[in-house]
Amino acid sequence: MATRNWLTLRLLPNDGKPNHQPELDGFRGLAVLFVLLAHSSHAGFDPLGIDFNHFGSVGVYLFFVLSAYLINRQMLEALAAQRASLKFWLRYALRRLLRIYPMYLLALIVSFALYTKGFGGPIHNVDDILSHLSLTEAKGVFWTIPVEVAYYLISPLLVLALWPLYRARPWLAMLVLLTAALALWYTRFLDLPMPLFLRFAPVLAFGTLLAMAQRRLRLPGGIGLAVFALVLTTVPSAARALFGASMFHAYTYTAAYGLAWALILYQALYHEIALSALGRWKPLRYLGTLSFSIYLLHLPVLSLCEALLPVAWVMPAFVAGTLGLSLLTYTFVERPLALLKFRS
C-alpha cells in the first residue's frame, strides 16, 4: 500500500487538478506498451507466445492522436477564454521545447555511447547527434520526433486559421480539417513523394478533430469497445489467425488507425465506462507517465540485455531496466523541467 501511494504521488501528480483527464495517462501507457511488445517480438521474444512484431506503429499512432488532442485542446480553450496572447504562445513553445529536447538529447547521447562500445544503435558519431537535433535525420525510434515537433509548430497556425469558422460553425470547421487530412493521406497513398511529417499529419489531425469534437458527438454505446477490439485483431498473431495476413501496419492503414484511436479516446473520455476504466487503471497510468522516457530508452536497454545476459534473463532484465531507468530520467529530467514556472 505504501509503495502504491508513493507511486501515485510521484507519477500521478496531476490527479485532482481541473481539466485533467486521467484516462489519457492510461492510453499513453497502452501506446508505449504496444511499442515494448512489438520490439520484444522483433528481438525474438514473444510475450505469452503472441507475435506483436510491427504492432509498435499502432502504438505510435495512438501517441500521435493523444499528443495532438492535448495541445490543441489547450489552444482551443485559450482562444475561447480570450487568453491566447503572445505570452501564451511563447509559453507554449518553450514548454514543448523543454518537453522534447532534453530527453531527446540524452537518448541520442546514450545511443552514441553504446555504439562506441560495440553494442550497435542508430547514432554513430557527433554528426548523427547534430543532424537528429536539427531534425534533418530520424533513424530508429527517433523517427517520431520530427513528426511531433513539426506538428507542434504547424498546429497553432492550423487552429488559428480554423478558429473563426470553428466558433461560428464547429461542424463545418471539423469537416474542412477532415477533408484536408484525407486528401493528404490519399496523396501519399498514390505514392507521391512527401516529407516525413506530412505522411503522418493525417493521424495527428484526428487528435485535433478529437479536441474540436468537445462532447458534440452522440455515438452508439459500445462502439468504442467494438473499434478497440477491431484494432486488436490487427495484432499479427490475431490477424494471421483471422484474416490469413499479418501486415495491417503499412501507410495504407494510417488514417484508419487515426480515426479508430480518436473514436476510442472520445468514448473513453465521455461515454463508455469500460474504456474509461481501462484508461484509469493505475499500472497503465504509471506507464503513461514514464512513456516518453520508456520510448526513447528501451532499445538501448534491450541491446545491453541481449548482449550481456543469458536468454532466460533478457526479458526480466529488459523490463526492470527500462522501468528503472525511465523512473530515474522522469524524476531527475522530465519532472523538474515540467515544474519550471514562467513569469506572466
DSSP state string for 59-90: HHHHHHHHHHHHHHHHHHHHHHTT---HHHHH
Answer left, alpha or beta for residue 321, where phi above 0 means left and psi between -120 and 50 means alpha.
Answer: alpha
- In the prediction, which pLDDT does 191 show? 82
pLDDT score of 1 more than 70: no
DSSP code of 333? Answer: I
pLDDT score of 178 more than 70: yes
- Give dist(CA 298, CA 111) in Å, integer: 11
Residue with cell 503572445: 86
Contacts of 175 (CB under 8 A, 6+ apart): none
The string of pLDDT tens digits covering residues 233-288 is 999 999 888 888 767 777 788 999 999 999 999 999 988 899 999 999 999 999 99
Answer left, alpha or beta for residue 310, where phi above 0 means left and psi between -120 and 50 means alpha.
Answer: beta
- Give dist(CA 276, CA 265) in Å, integer: 9
pTM, two decimals, is 0.94
- In the prediction, which pLDDT does 249 show? 72
List the grid coordinates of 336.
523538474
Spans of all domains in the chain? 21-43+50-338
Q: CA 6 → CA 9, 24, 164, 286, distances in Å?
A: 5, 21, 46, 11
| Mean pLDDT value across the chain | 92
Q: CA 232 → CA 246, 257, 261, 293, distances in Å?
A: 12, 11, 12, 25
- Please choose, from the candidates 21, 14, 7, 67, the residue with its C-alpha nearest in 3D space to the C-alpha of residue 261: 67
Q: Residue 293: what residue type?
A: S
